[in-house]
Structure 1
Amino acid sequence: MTGFPSQQGLPGEAYRVLGQSLNLHRTAAAAVRLAVPALARTALLVLTFDHQAQWWTADGRADQRGHAVPAALPRWLQDRLADGDGIRVNPLPAGQRSLPGGRQHDGHGAVVRLSCSYQCQAVLVLLRDAGRPAFTEAERTLAAQFAVPVSRAVTAAMLYRDQAELAETLRTALQPAPLPTVAGVELAAAYRPAREAHRIGGDILHVEARPDGSALCALGDVCGKGVEAALAGGRLRRSLQTLSPVAQQPLDLLHLLNVTSFDTSAMDATQFATLLLGVVQMVPHGGVLLRLAAGGHPSPVVVRRTGRVEEPQLGGMMLGADRAATFTESVIWLASGDVCVLYTDGVIDAEGGPLGEAFGRQRLTAMLSDYAGQPAAVVAERIEQCTSDWLGGAEHDDIAVLVVRAP
C-alpha cells in the first residue's frame, strides 16, 4: 500500500484510540488526527444533528473545531451530508473549495460517508494538496475500513452525551431546591443520596415560603433507592406544592396527600413514604413556633440553648398504607438559640465505626448536645460530617437533615 506513511494498522489503531473516550469532542478530534498523515494532508469531520452542525479539522500543524447551522456549511458539504446513509467513499475532484471556518483548500481528496446510527449525519473529508497522488483503490478500501470505528465511536459518544444531558436534567429537577429566607427563622440542610454518583435520592427535603411569612417544611423518605425512589419523591414534592394552598395546617395536608397521592392497592416499594410536615414561623414575642405532623417518620430532636435535649414523641402511620391512616401532630416552641433537627433514618441507620454498628439516635443526641447554641448551618454540617466519618466510605441509605433554629 503506497501514498501516505503510517497506513498499515490504521483501523486497529483507530479502534484502540477511539475506544478510550465517550466525550464527543475528544472522539472527533482524535479521529481527524488519526487520518493525518495516514490518509490525507488535511482531515475534516462534520456532524449535523439537532439543527446544528459541528466540525473538526486537523492538518498536522493545528487542530480546529467550530459550530454552525447546517445551512451555513459550504454547499458541497451540504450535498455530501444529504447523500444517503451507510459507509461509502466518493472521490472529491480537484479544485478550490471553501471549508468551514472560512478556510480554503486547493486540491482533491475523498469524502467518506459515515454510518452514524444515532440521529446524525456525518462525513469524513480527506483532503490532499494539488499535485499529490489521487486515492488508489487500496486507499479507498482503507478509508472505508477506518470509517467503521469512527462511525461507532461517534455514535457511542453522541448517545452518551444525550444520556448525560438527560441525567443532568433529571438531577436538577429532583434535587432539593435552595432553602428560602424566612423572617426570624434560621434554616440549614444537608442532603446526601445513597447513590452519590447519581446525586439523586428518595429522601424528600422541601421548604417553601408562604405569603404570611411562615414556611412549609417537609422531610421524608420514600421507600426504595435510586432513580425510582427519586422520581417518587419528586412526584410527592410536586403534590405537596399543589395541595399546600388547599390545606394550610400540616395535619390536614398529610391526610390530603395520603388520599390523593398514593394508591393503597399498589405494592411497589415506592408506594410508601414516611413524612414530617411542618409550618414554621417567627412569633411576635420572640422565638419560633413549629407545628409538626408526622406520618411514620422518626421523631425530631430539640436541643435547647443550654444543651438539654428533648425528643418529642411523634409517630403515626406511613403514607400509602391506608386511606384512613392515622397521623400525629405536635407543637414545638423554640426560644432564642434553640434548634429542632429533622432527619431521615439514613442518619441513625448509618452503619460503620469500629464494630460496624448503626450510628444510632443516642450518638446523634449526644453530638447535638455538644453543639447547643451553634448556628443552624454548623449543626447541619456537623451531622453530615459525623455520619460520613462513621460510615468510613461504606454504602448507606439516603441521608437528609433539616435544622430549624430560633436566632
Structure 2
Amino acid sequence: MVTVSSWLRSPCPALVVDTSGAVHGMNDAARSLLPNDVLPHDWRHGESVHVAERTFAAHRVDHEDGSITWWLLDETELLLERERAALLAQMSSDLMTSLNPERCMTVVAGLAAAHLADEVLVIAPPSADGHPVTRCRRGEEPTYELRHVDVEEVIGLSEALRGFPPVPSRWIDPSAAPEWLADDVASIVVTPLPGHGVPAGALILMRRSEQFTEDEEAFARLFASRAGVAISAASLFTQQAVITERLTRDLLPPALRRYAHVELAGRYRASGATERVGGDFYDVHELPDDRLFVVLGDVCGKGLDAAAQTGKVRTAVHALLQVVTDHDQVLHALNQALLTTDESRFITTVVGTVTPVEEGLHVRLTSGGHLPPLIVRANGEVEVAATKGTLVGILESIITATDEVVLAPGDSCLLYTDGITEAHGGPLGDEEFGEERLRRALKDCGGMPAEALAEHVHMLAAQWVGEGAHDDMAVLAITAPRKRSA
C-alpha cells in the first residue's frame, strides 16, 4: 500500500484524477512538470503522453472511490536505462572472451572508447618493469605498453589503483593533467577497477569537448566493476597457469642429454588423456669418473597425488646421491624416508650405475620390488637381469639383490614400468600386453639405438591399448654405442 506521504515524496511524477477527470492532487515532481495543474491534451489517447517535448508512459492505480493515481515514467530515461542494461550485458559478454590479462585490458579500453569516452587509459598495478598501460582513442586500435608513470600526478589515480572510491570528475583539473596522460581534454574521470579481493587497476576516461555528467560517471563505475572482475579473473588464471606449468615441469621426466660413452632415451605417458604427470618416473644423475646413476620407478596411485609423491621421491634420491651412491644404502635410506612421511604410498623402483669400460658399459642393477630390467643383445637375444627386492616404503627393512651386466657395443638395457606389461588391449580389448609378449618383441630390436628402442616399446604399448584406459607408462633405454671405425 502506498501512503500519501510516500507518493508525495516520490521523484516520479504522480497525480490523482477524480471521476470527472479533474486533477485532484499532485506530488512535487508532477507539479514541476505540470505547473498549471493542466493535463496534456493527449492524456486519454493511450498509455504514452507528451509533456514539454518529453514522452511519458502513464501507469494507473485505481482506488475504491473511483479516483485514479497516474504515475508518469519518462520513456526517454527508460529507453536509456534499457540501452545501458543491454550495453552492460554485451560488454560483460565481450569481457569474458579472453583469459589473457593484456588481451582483456585491450578489450576494456576498446569498449570504453567506443561507448564512454573519446580517449581511454587502462592502468594495471605496477610490476618490476612498470605499469601495464593500454590506451585507446575512439575509432583507433588499442595499444599496450609497460610504462613507468607517476600516478600521483593525476588526482585520484593512486587511490583508484589501491581500490578507493573515485573522486568526482569536477575535482580533476584537465589542464593540470601530465603530458603522458593526455592534452587538450575537457573532462577526466578516474575510477577503480575492482577485482577479486585486490584492485585490478584503474580506468581513466577523457573527453575533449564535453563534461561528464553524474549519471555518466555512475554508469562508468558500473562498467568498471565488470571490467575489473574480468581483468582480475584473467590475471588469476594466468598466475595459476604459470604456477602449474612450473610445477609440472619439475614433475615431468627430464630431457636426457647426450653422452659420448652411453646412449640414453626415455619415454613417458601419463594414464589420463588430459594429464601430463603421474606416478611413473625416471632420472639420470651424473657421478664422478663419467659414471651415471639411473633410477626408474612407479609410485602407488595415479594422477596429481601420485605425481606429487613422485616429486618427493625424485628430490630425496637427488639429495641422497650427494652423500652415498651405493644401491643398498640409497634404497634403505629412501625406504626410511617414505616410512616417516604421512603419505600412505609405496613405490617400486630399480636403480643402476652405468660405468664406461673397455668392453662397452658395466651396469649394476638393483630392484626395489620392481620388474627386472631386460638386456637386449645386439644379436637379438633377450636376457632378464637377475635382480629383485621388496617394495620400498612399506616394511621397516627391505631386502635387495644386485645384478651386474656388461653391455657390448650395440647391446641395450631396458628399464620399464608395469604400465607397459599390464596394458590392457589387443583384439578384444581385455588382454594384457604381458612380459612374454614384450620379450618376443625385443628379439627384433637387437642393435637398435637407444632412441629407436625406447620409441618402439612405447609405440607397441600405445598401439596395444588403443583408445582404452591404461596406467602410467615409463621406459628408459641404456645402450652401449657401436664403435666407429677409424
- Tell whether the structures are fold-level matches, with TM greater than 0.5: yes
Distance between the aligned counterparts of 2:200 and 2:237, measured in 1? 17
Structure 2 counterpart of 1:332 = 405
Which one scores higher on RCO, CA 8 angstroms, separation ≥ 6?
1
Q: Does 1:94 align with 2:167?
A: no
Q: Does 1:111 align with 2:186?
A: no
Q: Is the Cα contact below 8 Å between 1:18 and 1:27 reproduced in 2?
A: yes
RMSD, matched Cα? 2.5
Distance between the aligned counterparts of 2:179 and 2:349, measured in 1? 61
Distance between the aligned counterparts of 2:446 and 2:155, measured in 1? 69
Q: Is the Cα contact below 8 Å between 1:118 and 1:158 reproduced in 2?
A: no
| 1:175 counterpart (252, 258, 279) | 252
Query: Which residue identity is paired with 2:211?
Result: A
Distance between the aligned counterparts of 2:213 and 2:234, measured in 1? 31
| 2:463 counterpart (380, 383, 389) | 389
Distance 1:274 1:49, change over 3 A: farther
| 2:163 counterpart (62, 85, 90) | 85
Deviates more, 1:80-89 or 1:140-149: 80-89
Which has the higher Rg, Structure 1 or Structure 2? 2
Distance between the aligned counterparts of 2:341 and 2:89, measured in 1? 57
Distance 1:211 1:333, change over 3 A: same
How far did 1:334 drift? 1.4
| 2:88 counterpart (2, 6, 11) | 11
- Per-residue CA shift, 1:181-236, capped at 9, x if unaligned? 44422111112223464532222211011111110000001112233222222221
Structure 2 counterpart of 1:262 = 338
* Alignment gaps of 5+ in structure 2: 1-76, 482-486
How far did 1:295 drift? 0.6
| 2:140 counterpart (46, 61, 68) | 61
Distance between the aligned counterparts of 2:449 and 2:167, measured in 1? 69
How far did 1:154 drift? 1.2
Per the alignment, in what secondary structure is the counterpart of residue 56 of structure 1?
A: strand
| 2:239 counterpart (151, 157, 162) | 162
| 2:291 counterpart (182, 207, 214) | 214
Distance 1:95 1:351, change over 3 A: farther
Percent identity for Structure 1 against Structure 2: 32
Q: Is the Cα contact below 8 Å between 1:317 and 1:327 reproduced in 2?
A: yes
Structure 2 counterpart of 1:375 = 449
Query: Which residue identity is paired with 1:97?
Result: A
Structure 1 counterpart of 2:440 = 366
- Per-residue CA shift, 1:76-122, capped at 9, x if unaligned? 3485133452564631443363465x864533231121212354451
Structure 2 counterpart of 1:128 = 207
Structure 2 counterpart of 1:226 = 303
Structure 2 counterpart of 1:403 = 477
Distance between the aligned counterparts of 1:351 and 1:86, measured in 2? 61
Deviates more, 1:272-281 or 1:112-121: 112-121
Deviates more, 1:32-41 or 1:85-94: 85-94
| 1:354 counterpart (424, 427, 446) | 427
Distance between the aligned counterparts of 2:183 and 2:374, measured in 1? 72
Query: Which residue identity is paired with 2:338?
Result: F
Distance between the aligned counterparts of 2:99 and 2:449, measured in 1? 44
Q: Is the Cα contact below 8 Å between 2:156 and 2:167 reproduced in 1?
A: no
Alignment: residue pair count: 396
Matched ranges for 1:303-342 at <5 A = 303-342=376-415
Structure 2 counterpart of 1:38 = 115
Q: TM-score, normalised by structure 2?
A: 0.75
- Per-residue CA shift, 1:298-353, capped at 9, x if unaligned? 11121111112222343311110112111222112212211111011122223334
Distance between the aligned counterparts of 2:235 and 2:322, measured in 1? 43
Per the alignment, in what secondary structure is the counterpart of residue 393 of structure 2?
A: coil
Distance 1:398 1:41, change over 3 A: same
| 1:186 counterpart (257, 263, 281) | 263
Q: Is the Cα contact below 8 Å between 1:81 and 1:122 reproduced in 2?
A: no
Distance between the aligned counterparts of 2:445 and 2:84, measured in 1? 69
Distance between the aligned counterparts of 1:194 and 1:313, measured in 2? 29
Q: Is the Cα contact below 8 Å between 1:49 and 1:120 reproduced in 2?
A: no
Query: Which residue identity is paired with 1:136?
Result: T
Per the alignment, in what secondary structure is the counterpart of residue 220 of structure 1?
A: strand
